[in-house]
Amino acid sequence: MSQTMKRAYKYRCYPTREQAELLLRTFGCVRYVWNRALAERSRRYKDGSKNTTYTDTAKWLTQWKTEEDSAFLREVSNVPLQQALRAQQQAFATFFAKRARYPRFKSKKKSRKSATFQNNAFTFRDGELKPAKTSEPLPVRMHRPLPEGAAPSSVTVSQDGAGRWFVSMLVEETITPLPSTGAAVGADAGLTHLVTLSTGEKITNPRHERADRRRLAKAQKAMAHKAKGSANRARARTRVARIHARITDRRRDHLHKVTTRMVRENQAIAIEDLAVRNMLKNRSLARAVSDAAWRGFRGMLEYKTRWYGRELLLVDRWYPSSRLCSTQGCGHKNTKMPLNVRTWRCPSCQTVHDRDVSAALNILAAGLAER
């Protein structure tokens, strides 16, 4: 059954010098409004004052625009500033619901630079995007078209640490589920191989960070030798960011290809509910776990299975998938299974198991049993 949902389409853009200056000012104003509102909210929170609402913060914004020290807020579109306050309201709601940490202040150097324009603050006609306060359309490289008849409800313009500009357009799209396949697969995440499937297939872990580790270390060393606050250090920081961006882009591309194929070929996919955050506390494994990007792998499977009418089965993280014999009718459980043991023979049925394939088979069986 088809379903209508909101979906973001992200494109590279190449603003002119004037547009870039305006957008950078907008980013700065968004950061200023966020930080000033957060400081006032925190003060009221500590003083035990009544709850702060978005309406309260919107009134503060109106007042700040009349003050001489913050009159620069009038130079940019008001909509991204209001959106920053709405985002902060949502962040506090999530915090009070105990689903996230207390909202933090935005840093000029480390925080993401972005501004969100609602549909009353931009025009989009014939593939041309013109944000408020700009005199000409923003040059956007539309490498793929928006869905036919779709119009963006909001647009987010951002710049990453490598200096690249992006536009993300949020549209409503009708997504049709894929035809049913009836197949089910279990997936065991690993480090030697990114994923081992219950079919016996082992998907390579490209280790993108390790491949560029020497190049990254050289760039970071060069940056460390530059004087803090200098233009040379800023350029060196951009070079480091470009290497990080290359690693991230390649990793994301690989994960998209793997997860899309799994969703297309299988009706049900079973994976372990891993606590990746806890694994990152292990100094011996943290770097390799981060490079494998298990959290991103699971996140992609979650939304793709939801979009295309598939089923994602989560198996308890404490399930001993690697220690169980996967032979039907056996079920022997080993007391220990060190990481260096890659194949083992079941003492009960004498079957020789590949550790990862056996674990994937057990994950599939456990996932199907919990349906």
Is the predicted pLDDT of residue 77 greater than 90, yes or no?
yes
Query: Mean pLDDT across the stretch 267-286?
Result: 87
Q: Would you give the distance in Å from CA 205 to the centre of its chain? A: 19
Residue 276 pLDDT = 82
Residue reference for tokens 């990114």: 194
Residue 216 pLDDT = 94
Identify the band that residue 47 occupies on the pLDDT scale cut at 50, 70 and 90. Answer: confident
Residue 48 pLDDT = 76
Identify the band that residue 281 occupies on the pLDDT scale cut at 50, 70 and 90. Answer: confident
Residue 133 pLDDT = 92
Is the predicted pLDDT of residue 1 greater than 80, yes or no?
no
SS3 230: coil
- Residues 259 and 360: their CA atoms lie apart, in Å, by 16
Show the DSSP H helices in 190-311 as ranges. Answer: 208-211, 213-224, 231-265, 276-279, 286-292, 294-307
Gyration radius of the chain's alpha carbons: 25
Is the predicted pLDDT of residue 257 greater than 80, yes or no?
yes
Is the predicted pLDDT of residue 287 greater than 80, yes or no?
yes
Lowest mean pLDDT across 105-119, 125-139, 166-180, 270-284: 270-284
Query: Mean pLDDT across the stretch 352-365?
Result: 93
pLDDT in tens, 148-176: 888 999 999 999 999 999 999 999 999 89
Residue 170, φ and ψ in degrees, nearest 5: -95, 120
How much of the chain, in percent, has pLDDT values that exceed 90?
A: 75
CA-based nearest residue to 239, from 264, 217, 266: 217
Residue 109 pLDDT = 83
Identify the band that residue 238 occupies on the pLDDT scale cut at 50, 70 and 90. Answer: very high
Query: Mean pLDDT across the stretch 81-86?
Result: 97
For CA atoms 261, 267, 268, 274, the dihedral sign is positive
Is the predicted pLDDT of residue 50 greater than 80, yes or no?
no
Global pTM reads: 0.87
Residue 298 pLDDT = 94
Q: Over the chain, what is the mean pLDDT?
A: 92
Residue 194 pLDDT = 93
Winning range, highest mean pLDDT, from 19-33, 278-292, 337-351: 19-33
Query: Mean pLDDT across the stretch 224-239?
Result: 94
Is the predicted pLDDT of residue 338 greater than 90, yes or no?
no
Active-site amino acid positions:
188, 272, 356
